[in-house]
Structure formats: structure tokens, C-alpha cells
Chain A
Amino acid sequence: MTEPGITQLLQAVGDGDPAALNDLFDLLYPELHALAHHQLARNERQTLDTTAIVHEVYLRFVRHGAVSSTCRRHFFALCAKSMRQIIIDHARRYLAGKRGGGVTHTVLDEGTLSIEERADELVALDRELERLTAMDPRLARVVELRFYAGLNVDEAADALGVAASTVKRDWRKARAWLYSRLSSELAE
């Protein structure tokens, strides 16, 4: 084995090795990325189920019983970050292609946003999330876990090592803050 495995890396992260975090991210990102595409390719309805992806990766990488709860937390935190990164990368790429190429065809259903508006919204959300991270990292992490990785309240609580009630409270607060920011941006 030339590359260190996920478990070893998780262990190293747990031991406070900052380089391991990068290695882990490098390892997870392509895997999640590939799975996201894979899922889109095989899925007729063309939806992306990030929850399933994160769990699938977990099943593949971190085998049954092989990791401590600390490791699992790191794993989910990183997965959530990776998913966020993957999605924002694509949103940016899409917008770049769009605006560069001047293709303007978007389908607008009543009540749904156009693809372009969705991409815009994701980019805006990402920016506000970055600011929230600076202000209150835990709230931002809750959003990453819930929104990007698709974990439910209990799973997010497990991944953060806090009570479910805390996650609920944080989530509500984070939502309110982000929406208040996003709406003011739109108003500008």
C-alpha cells in the first residue's frame, strides 16, 4: 500500500496532524465527486442524493466497526466540506460557461428558480456561509452537515458530538441569519 488509508488518516487527524486533513480531503473529494456523477448517470430522474453519496462513501471507506466516534466525526465533517466544495465548483463553472457563452435558455417553472438563479443562490449561500464560519464556526458546520451532506438532526448531532437539541437550535439560528443576509443581498 503506497497511500495511507482513510482510517489511518482519520486517526492522524484525530491526533491533531494538520497535514492529514489535507490528505484526507484530497482522498475524499474525488471519490464523492465520482459518486455524484455516477449517481446522476444511473439515475433517470437526474437528482443528486448527497445523503446517499456520503453514506455510500462511508460504507466503502470506513468499514464496519473500524473507526472510533472521533474518527467518524472527522469523516462526516470532511465529507460535508467536500460536498460543499464539489457543488460550489460546479455552480461556478456553470455560471462561467453560461455567462461566457451567452447561452440564455433556461426553463422556468412556476415557483421554481431557473438553473441559473439556483447556481447564483448557491454561490451567494457559499459566500455567506464563509462569513458565518468566521463569526460562529459551529453554526456553519451544522449547515454543512445538514444541507450539503444531507444528514438528519440526530446524525448531525452525532457528527458534532453535541445534543440533538443543540443542533436544532443552531440550525434555526443559522437559517435565520443566512436568510436575512441573502435577502438583503438580493435587495441591494
Chain B
Amino acid sequence: MSTPSPSEWSRIESLFDEAVGLPPDQREAYVTAAEQDPRIRDEVHAMLRADAREGILERSVGDVAADFVPPDPDETLAPGTEIPPYRIVRPVGAGGMGTVYLAERADGQFDQQVALKLIRSDRNVGAIRTRFLQERQILANLDHPNIAKLLDGGITGDGRPYFALEYVEGSPITRYADEQRLGVDERVDLFRKVCAAVAYAQQRLVVHRDLKPSNILVTPEGEPKLLDFGIAKLFDPDQRRPDLTQEGTSVFTPEYAAPEQVRGEGITTATDVYALGGILYELLSGALPLTPQDRSLVGWQRAILEAEPAPITRALARTPERERAEIAARRRLSAAGLSRRLRGDLTNVVEKSLRKEADRRYASAAELLEDLDAFRRGLPVRAAPPSLTYRARKYVARNRLAVAAAGAVALALIGGAVATSWQAQRAEQAAERATGVTRFLVSLFEDADPNAAPGREITARELLDRGAARLDTELVGDAQSRSELLRVVGGLYDRLGEYPAAEELHERALESRLALHGPDHPLVAESLGDLGRARLAQSRYGDADSLFRRALTIHEAAGADAASMSRAYADLGSAAERLGELAEAADWYERSRTAAAQAHGPRSAEVARALQDLALVQRQSGALDDAQASLREALAIYQEVRPAVHSDIAEVLHGLAWNRHVAGDREEAERLSRESVEMRRRLYPNGHPELAIGIRNLGTILRDGGDLDQAEALFRESLAMTLEFLGEDHVEVASAVNDLAIVSFIRQDLATAQEQLRRARALYERHLPADHARLLTIDGNLAVVALRLGQSDEAARTFERLVDVRTEKFGAAHPDVAYAWIGVGNARAQGESWPEAREAYERALSIYRELYGEDHVDTAVAKRFLARAVGEEGDWDSATRCAAEAHAFLSGEYPETHRRVAEAAAELGRAHLESGRRNEATPLLASALSGYEAAFGVDDARTREVAELLARSR
């Protein structure tokens, strides 16, 4: 049959579709039965047989075609072809721009071999020529032993531009290093020569734009030579219109292209730094910084613009074991040895080079070189300070030594040392101190060599403990270094959530600094801040507050810079906020914002951060609109200073979502929260603790909206991620489990809820002080669940524990203590232990009386509870008086149908009934019943109890 007609094809098509929907053994018979036309039938049969086959379409077209697509795009110029004054010897390579030939002088003037780069004819020749003429002098003046010299350039007879460059025989730098089995230091040294060459060119305002291993050849003598300097620029589209929409055939290589190149934004010296970072990454670890999984279009774009490259040590850890051993062997190290060598400074240097935002990278190759020089001399690298918080959080929080903790500690350490240099210290002294401190920490990690204790990982906590112990027993450099170390180790405990340990170290750092510098020194203020934050984390808000105030006084007296002031104000704001002094907190945050604007500019990330703090207070004060406005402003700032996808933006979106959630705007809350979570998913494709928190909050929004299934799925995802990143033994795990417990509770699956809450509590107990708010919350939850399960003793004990903790924390006369007493009373009442119940209610009542006086809702409610207990003990007259007082007050406060009035009416009714006054009881109970029905529904146990009372009364 020749090609089917349209109607035949449509019949064939639909028969095929129908047939393949059937089990294979029924298909042929189906077609035979369904179709009369033998020609159509045969076609479909043939297709069904072909359906099971495999053939060319299952292969990659590249595999099929590679053999006959020759690697030279142009008609290759034959040897001997003359391009005056050169003569082609042979082709040596092909690139995106054209073909490269080995050529020699044809005029015999010099015995010189050159690399002749012949540009493809389909390029925009005219523009390239013009630009070449503009640039050639600059390029020709680049005279550096590690840069292949541009010798000449011109136009061939048929109008194609060519360049003649110094001919370099050698291997790409990565291959060379592997072939020569260069160790890590040797690789760094080789790479430093590359940096020096790039720095040389950059000082002459030439940016390479297309650095990659194949453009860096290493000669047999071991000298790197950079090719094609400045040539990429010649191919750029019209440079007089450097707007964002411009497009063109810029030359760069995706593996090493910086985000600004993909976006078509301005190219700077930092663009070369990015490519250098990528090359260094590869040189050290044998892996590329970005390896999008599916290499799909979206994958590449995301990778270049958004994906954070894995730290080199992690890239190494992810490599299959055998390959890893080979990579390490090419560096003359064991796999573990290589990982140790790379972690820390080198990881940080690479990270700083590869940042997405050009202004957060090294500004130039010279800066990168400085850090590598410092690394080789064992001095601290510059890469550390800006990323202190980020790194320490990201790595140390993992709670494993493994790869990361070492890097983070060294890093944090230097951060600490450098951060103090703003005051009158001389820079060298600071460096010296930092070096001493580094040495100390390095010695710590040598002990922590996993080979020394095979089969188990040392936790960051153990490592820190060891460090702290050594601080006690060994003389660590001078007293200043020692105080630095105390502070650094304290800060790390802080990040681990080990607040008591953090507090102790910060206390000692403070003492040490007081002794060294006297009470009015800025370093003392800094330590006061550290200590205050450690106490704040342990819910000792008052202590923290007074420390922060002392710090502020010192800063003010010393005339500290705006950045320090901003920090000090923010600290005070957070203490006031926790203390419930919301107006004061808002005031501090406002000041912090003003100072931040002064220090960092009005549209800076620091200002946005202060606005976020402020929003938190505004939300708690109920000023949702103000909070919304603050967050919107913060978002606007971040959108100016951050890339479109950034963790700060995700965080603000999350704040906005929570705001809408609190405002009861479920749809908008969900939308914003999803946006935030999606952004974090893109930022952290492999998961991240922040992402886990975002997912959890989305879950909470959905849960409160009643979508329990989705909420539970999200909570579980979040929990799994938390476990992966933070390990089983972490507070965040407890919070995630608590969320799941609430879902179980809403589903009335009380047994599961209880089990989950207990699991969460055990974790909290290990990590938080006994009086921490989270622990108290979960105890409250546990008690309520126990009560609902009818475990009155268990519930009573839990509430009693709450009473104890809260009394100690807040003093006896505090509403939270009274509330816990009510809980004790309810639990005892459920167990019908009336004397204990009465005692508990009496205590609650006396607290409320003391705090609020007689005429207050809480006082009345306590009386209502007390009435029942007093009555059940046998004194229904007193019960009647007590209930009557409660009812009278509450009736004045609320409409008759209100739950609180109904509850009081029920108790008063019960007291009348028990005292034999049915006439008085009946109307009260009838009115109570309708209130209960409205509040709890007809079938609720409480409603039924009132109904029974009413029946008895009638």
C-alpha cells in the first residue's frame, strides 16, 4: 500500500490507539474483527508488530550520526594554503568561532609558528573587523609570560577575519594536572599563575570572558598559557546598547558561564573570577560546579542562575567511591585525605568565586590571587567573613563532623578575628591572632581524623566539647586569642542550639575581655551582645535585656559606627519583643532600621531585615496592615538588591503568607506560602532546613484551613527533610513531630497524637531548658490529650509540672500559672478527686483575684470551676453562691447564648438542682442547654450532660 489517504490514515490511527489499549495477545484479533478493509487491517497489524520493535529511534541521534559528521565545520584549508604572510601547516582544532590552524610565516622573515584562528564566514564579519581594529592595540600590548600573545590579525582574501596568536603546544590545565598527578598544593600553585595572568590583563582593562580549561594550556615545561584573551569581546553584539533585551551570539561556555553572561548583563572582572572559580573547582575536585541532572533547558538556566554549586568537598563525597579514589589518586592522596585537604579555606575560596551575585565575588582575579597566596602561606583567607552566618548555619547545624564542621569552625573563627579589627587593632596583630587560633583549631581536627576512630562520625558537639575542654587545659597563645576562641566556640554552640554551653563560653569571653580591655571597650560590648543572645535563646529575656542595655551604653559612649548601633538596637528590640513590650520593641526596631539605612544605605538588605523584625512586632500587636506594609517594603528592597530567586525573598514571602494567615485570608496565605516554598525548592533542589520550615508552615496554613491530608503530607515531607539535614536529635524534628501531632489530634486520633507529642517532648527535653516556651507548649498539648483520653492522673501530673515550671519562671502570681492550675483542677475533676480539684481551682482563683480583682472574666470562670468542686465535696450552698457570682458577672459581659454564660448557667443550675431548688434550676439549665448546643453541638458529651441535668430537673 502506498501512502494512505487522509480517511484511511484516520481509521488506521484510531484502530492502533484502540488496539494498544488492550493486552498484547488480544490486539491482533481485535483489529481483525473490527476492520473489514484488508489493506487497513494489514497496515495496523504491521504497526502493532513494529510497536514491539526497537530500532534507530531508540538510539540517540548523536550516536547514530557521530561517525560521519566530521569535526571540521568549514571546508578545511589544505596544508600549504597561504594567508599572507602565513602558510597553513595543518588544522589543530575547531571551536565555536571557527577553525584553528598551525601556520608558519610564508615570507620566511622569521622562523615562527603561529596559531591561526580563522573566523567562520557566517559571523558578522564587518562588526568583528571594526571591533578588532579598535581592540588590537590593547590586545597586542598584553605582554605576559602566561598569556599567548596576539601577533597579528586581518582579513583573508575572501573576507574572513583571522587572528594569529602565539602557538602553544600543551594540554588543557585540568588534563595536564591529572596527567602529571599534581598534588593539591601544586594545583593551587599552577592555578595562581593563571590568576596572575588574568589579573595582569584585568589591570589593563581586558576581561577574558571565556575562560575554560581548553583556553588554558600548560606547556611541557609546566607553564600555563592563556589563549584568546579579549577575543570573545569582539564577538559580542553591539556594545553601545548594553540593555537587557539585547541578544546575540556572545561567546561563552555554559559550564563556566557566569549568571550575568546568561542574562546578557554587564561583563566585569568578576565575570572572569566566576570562570576561574569553576576551573579551580574542577581542578581540585575533578567535578564541575554545576551538573544539571536532566540538562534540560530549564535545568541549565536554573543551574547557572539559581542553583548553588555543592561545596567541593560535598561534590567529592557524592562521587562514587571508586571514582573518588581515582580522583584522589591523581592528586596523590587518599579519598579521605583529599577531602580533608579541600575542606575549609579552599572550599571557601571557590565558593566566594562562584557566587551568583557578581558583587559578592572577589572583585578581580587579583583579589582571588591574594586569597590563594594567603592560603599557601597558611594565613587566613578573606573568603570567610561575609559567609560566617550562612556557613555556620548550613554546616554546623548538620550536627555531623563529616566534611563540613571543620570548614565552618575555621571559617567562623576567622570571621570572629576579622570582625573585631574594626576597632583600633592593627591588621597584622589581628592576622597573627587569627593564625594562632587557626593552628589551635587545626590541631583539634587532626584529632578528629575519622581514620583515628573508624566506623563512626564525630558529632560537631563532641568536637566542640573537645575544643572547649582544651581551652581550659592548654595555653592557647595569648589572652586575646583565647578570648577570641572562647567567643567563636561559644558562637558555634549557639548555632547548634546548645545554649547553656554557648552561654558559659560567652561569659568567659566577656570576663577575659573585661580583664584585658576594661569595662568600656567595644569588644566588651560585643561580648555582652553575644551573651545576651545566648540568654535570650534560653528564654531569659530580662537578663538578656539588661545585657543589651549595657552594650548599648558602651557603644554610645564609644561613638560606635552605625552598623554596630543598628545591631545593638535590633538586639534590644528582640528582647523587648520577647518580654511582650511590643511598643518598645517596635521603637528599637525602628531605630535599628534608621541606623542600618545610615550604615548600609536606605535600600540595603540590612534595612529590609530590620523591616522584617518590625513586621513581626506589628503582627503580634495586631497591626496586620502595618506589618503587611513593612514586609512589602522589605520585599521591594530585596527585589532591588537580590536576584529574583533568593532566600531572603522567600523568607519575606513566607512572612507575608503568615500575616495573611493570621488575618484569616486563607487563599492569599496559601498562595504566598506556596510561592515561598516553590522558591526555596528551586534554591535548594536537594533540600535544606529552611525549605523544611517553609513546607511546615505551608502545612500549618493548610491544616488550619481544614485540608488535613495535604497538611499531613507536607508535614511528613518536612520531617523527612529535617531528619536528613539535622539528624534525628534536633529541636526542629520535635517541632515537625508536634505539627503532625496536631493533625492527629484534629482527626481525633488521640493515641497517635499522644505518642507523637511524647516523641517531640523527649527531643525538646534534651535540647531546651526545662522552662523553654516550646517545651511548655508541648506539655500543655500533652495534658490536653491525656485529659481527652481520660488519663486524668497523667493529665494532672503534666499540668502540675507546668505549674512548677511556670511558677519558677514567672513567679506565683502570673496568668499562665493560674491557667495551669485550672488544668490541674480539670484533670482532678475528671478523676473525681474533688478535694484536689477544689484546691487547684482555689489557687487559680486567688491568682486571678490578685491580678485582676473580682470583676474579671478569668476570675469569674475560675469561680465557675470552683463551684462544681466545692459542691461535689458536699457543700452545694457554697457552690451555689460561687456559681451565682460567676453567672452574674458573665451575663453582664456576654449575651445569654455565649458559651461562657451557658457554662456558668449550667453550673449554677446544677448547684440549685443538687440543693433541691428545681424551679430555679430548670430555666437556667434550659438556657444553658441551648448555649451548649450552639457551641459544641447536640452530640457532644458536655451537651448531653447538661441535657441530663435538665431532664432530672424537670
Q: Which residues of A contact B (CB under 8 A)?
A: 1-3, 5-7, 30-31, 33-38, 40-42, 46-52, 55-56, 58-64, 66, 83, 86-87, 90-91, 93-94, 115, 118-119, 121-122, 125, 131, 134-136, 143, 146-148, 150, 152, 155, 169, 172-173, 175-180, 182-184
User: What chain B residues lie within 8 Å of A30 (beta carbons)?
Assistant: 120, 122
A165–B50 alpha-carbon span in the complex (Å):
21
Can you report 19 residue pairs joining A to B where beta carbons are below 8 Å apart? Answer: A37-B70, A37-B72, A47-B60, A50-B60, A55-B300, A58-B297, A63-B262, A66-B245, A66-B264, A91-B65, A118-B56, A122-B64, A125-B56, A125-B57, A177-B47, A179-B51, A179-B53, A180-B46, A180-B49
Closest residue to A45 on the B side, CB-wise? B66
Cβ B50 vs Cβ A179 within 8 A: yes
Query: Please, what's the 1-or-0 string for B57-97, where 1 marks a CB less than 8 Å from any CB in chain A?
Result: 10011111111111111000000000000000000011110
Query: Please, what's the 1-or-0 string for B477-512, where 1 marks a CB less than 8 Å from any CB in chain A?
Result: 000000000000000000000000000000000000
Pick from B13-21, B196-204, B383-391 the stretch touching chain A.
Answer: B13-21
Cβ-closest 9 pairs across A and B: A48-B62, A179-B50, A94-B68, A176-B47, A180-B46, A180-B50, A37-B73, A41-B71, A30-B122
Write the nearest CB–CB distance from B44 to chain A, whole angstroms: 9
Task: From the candidates B62, B68, B120, B296, name the one contacting A34 in the complex (CB within 8 A).
Answer: B120
User: What chain A residues lie within 8 Å of B61 (beta carbons)?
Assistant: 48, 50, 83, 87, 147-148, 150
Write the nearest CB–CB distance from B100 to chain A, whole angstroms: 10
Cβ A87 vs Cβ B69 within 8 A: yes
Extra 8 A-B pairs, beta carbons < 8 Å, given A3-B124, A38-B94: A38-B96, A40-B71, A47-B60, A59-B304, A63-B263, A150-B61, A176-B51, A177-B50
A43–B628 alpha-carbon span in the complex (Å):
54
Cβ A172 vs Cβ B20 within 8 A: yes
Task: From the candidates B43, B69, B247, name the one contacting A61 in the complex (CB within 8 A).
Answer: B247
Pick from B248-256, B702-710, B898-906 the stretch touching chain A.
Answer: B248-256
User: What chain B residues lie within 8 Å of A93 (beta carbons)?
Assistant: 68
Task: From the candidates A7, A47, A52, A66, name the one contacting B66 in the complex (CB within 8 A).
Answer: A47
User: What chain B residues lie within 8 Å of A135 (beta carbons)?
Assistant: 3-4, 6, 9
User: What chain B residues lie within 8 Å of A40 (beta carbons)?
Assistant: 66, 69-71
Write the nearest CB–CB distance from B855 to chain A, whole angstroms: 64
Cβ A31 vs Cβ B249 within 8 A: yes
Write the nearest CB–CB distance from B844 to chain A, whole angstroms: 62
Cβ A180 vs Cβ B60 within 8 A: no
User: What chain B residues lie within 8 Å of A47 (beta carbons)?
Assistant: 60, 62-63, 66
A122–B56 alpha-carbon span in the complex (Å):
8
A105–B408 alpha-carbon span in the complex (Å):
60
User: What chain A residues lie within 8 Å of B46 (beta carbons)?
Assistant: 180, 183-184
Cβ A37 vs Cβ B55 within 8 A: no
A3–B57 alpha-carbon span in the complex (Å):
37
Task: From the candidates A1, A34, A46, A115, name the one contacting B238 in the complex (CB within 8 A).
Answer: A1
Write the nearest CB–CB distance from B263 to chain A, whole angstroms: 5
A62–B47 alpha-carbon span in the complex (Å):
39
Cβ A56 vs Cβ B93 within 8 A: no
Query: Please, what's the 1-or-0 string for B225-262, where 1 marks a CB less than 8 Å from any CB in chain A?
Result: 00000000000011000000111111010100100001
User: What chain B residues lie within 8 Å of A175 (beta carbons)?
Assistant: 50-51, 57
Task: From the candidates A38, A64, A179, name the one contacting B305 in the complex (CB within 8 A).
Answer: A64
A91–B296 alpha-carbon span in the complex (Å):
27
B301 adjacent to chain A (CB < 8 Å): yes
User: What chain A residues lie within 8 Å of B622 (beta carbons)?
Assistant: none
Q: Knowing A176-B16, A176-B47 are in contact, say whether A150-B69 is a contact too (CB < 8 A).
A: no
A49–B60 alpha-carbon span in the complex (Å):
8
A105–B126 alpha-carbon span in the complex (Å):
44
User: What chain A residues lie within 8 Å of B267 (beta carbons)?
Assistant: none
A136–B4 alpha-carbon span in the complex (Å):
11
A48–B64 alpha-carbon span in the complex (Å):
9
Closest residue to B248 on the A side, CB-wise? A5
A120–B9 alpha-carbon span in the complex (Å):
27
User: What chain A residues lie within 8 Å of B96 (beta carbons)?
Assistant: 34-35, 38
B48 adjacent to chain A (CB < 8 Å): yes
Closest residue to A154 on the B side, CB-wise? B296
User: What chain B residues lie within 8 Å of A147 (beta carbons)?
Assistant: 57, 61
Task: From the candidates A50, A59, A146, A176, name the one contacting B262 in the complex (CB within 8 A).
Answer: A59
User: What chain A residues lie within 8 Å of B238 (beta carbons)?
Assistant: 1
Q: Which residues of B contact A (CB under 8 A)?
A: 3-4, 6, 9, 13, 16-17, 20, 43, 46-51, 53, 55-57, 60-73, 93-96, 120, 122, 124, 126-127, 214, 237-238, 245-250, 252, 254, 257, 262-264, 294-297, 300-301, 304-305
Write the nearest CB–CB distance from B761 to chain A, whole angstroms: 45
Q: Knowing A6-B247, A175-B51, A179-B53 are in contact, say whether A33-B301 is a contact too (CB < 8 A).
A: no
Q: Knowing A1-B237, A90-B68, A115-B68 are in contact, say whether A56-B254 is a contact too (CB < 8 A).
A: yes
Write the nearest CB–CB distance from A173 to chain B, whole angstroms: 6
Write the nearest CB–CB distance from B587 to chain A, whole angstroms: 42
Cβ B249 vs Cβ A41 within 8 A: no
A94–B122 alpha-carbon span in the complex (Å):
23
Write the nearest CB–CB distance from B564 to chain A, whole angstroms: 39
Write the nearest CB–CB distance from A145 to chain B, whole angstroms: 11
A37–B74 alpha-carbon span in the complex (Å):
10
User: What chain A residues lie within 8 Å of B300 (beta carbons)?
Assistant: 55, 59
Cβ B47 vs Cβ A169 within 8 A: no
Closest residue to A30 on the B side, CB-wise? B122
Write the nearest CB–CB distance from A93 to chain B, whole angstroms: 8
Cβ B68 vs Cβ A121 within 8 A: no
Cβ A173 vs Cβ B17 within 8 A: yes
Cβ B51 vs Cβ A169 within 8 A: no
Cβ A173 vs Cβ B48 within 8 A: no
Task: From the candidates A3, A38, A64, A182, name the one contacting B55 in the complex (CB within 8 A).
Answer: A182
Cβ B65 vs Cβ A61 within 8 A: no
Q: Knowing A2-B124, A122-B56 are in contact, say whether A55-B297 is a contact too (CB < 8 A).
A: yes
Write the nearest CB–CB distance from A24 to chain B, whole angstroms: 13
Write the nearest CB–CB distance from B764 to chain A, whole angstroms: 44
Cβ A176 vs Cβ B55 within 8 A: no
A74–B55 alpha-carbon span in the complex (Å):
28
Closest residue to A93 on the B side, CB-wise? B68
Cβ B95 vs Cβ A118 within 8 A: no
Closest residue to A3 on the B side, CB-wise? B124
User: What chain A residues lie within 8 Å of B70 (beta carbons)?
Assistant: 37, 40, 90
Q: Knowing A37-B72, A64-B305 are in contact, say whether A172-B66 is a contact too (CB < 8 A).
A: no
Write the nearest CB–CB distance from B278 to chain A, whole angstroms: 16
Closest residue to B96 on the A side, CB-wise? A38
A59–B247 alpha-carbon span in the complex (Å):
10
A63–B57 alpha-carbon span in the complex (Å):
31
Closest residue to A8 on the B side, CB-wise? B247
Cβ B56 vs Cβ A121 within 8 A: yes
Closest residue to A55 on the B side, CB-wise? B297
Cβ A55 vs Cβ B296 within 8 A: yes
A24–B47 alpha-carbon span in the complex (Å):
36
A134–B6 alpha-carbon span in the complex (Å):
10
Write the nearest CB–CB distance from A147 to chain B, whole angstroms: 6
User: What chain B residues lie within 8 Å of A134 (beta carbons)?
Assistant: 3
Cβ A37 vs Cβ B71 within 8 A: yes
Write the nearest CB–CB distance from A42 to chain B, whole angstroms: 6
User: What chain B residues lie within 8 Å of A42 (beta carbons)?
Assistant: 214
Write the nearest CB–CB distance from A29 to chain B, whole angstroms: 9
Q: Knowing A3-B124, A55-B295, A115-B68 are in contact, say whether A41-B94 is a contact too (CB < 8 A).
A: yes
Q: Knowing A50-B60, A176-B51 are in contact, say whether A64-B120 is a contact too (CB < 8 A).
A: no
Task: From the candidates B56, B69, B264, name the one contacting A36 in the complex (CB within 8 A).
Answer: B69
A83–B69 alpha-carbon span in the complex (Å):
12
A40–B53 alpha-carbon span in the complex (Å):
30
Write the nearest CB–CB distance from B353 to chain A, whole angstroms: 21
Cβ A178 vs Cβ B297 within 8 A: no
Write the nearest CB–CB distance from A64 to chain B, whole angstroms: 5
User: What chain A residues lie within 8 Å of B294 (beta carbons)?
Assistant: 152
Write the nearest CB–CB distance from A55 to chain B, whole angstroms: 5
User: What chain A residues lie within 8 Å of B297 (beta carbons)?
Assistant: 55, 58-59, 155
User: What chain A residues lie within 8 Å of B9 (beta carbons)?
Assistant: 135-136
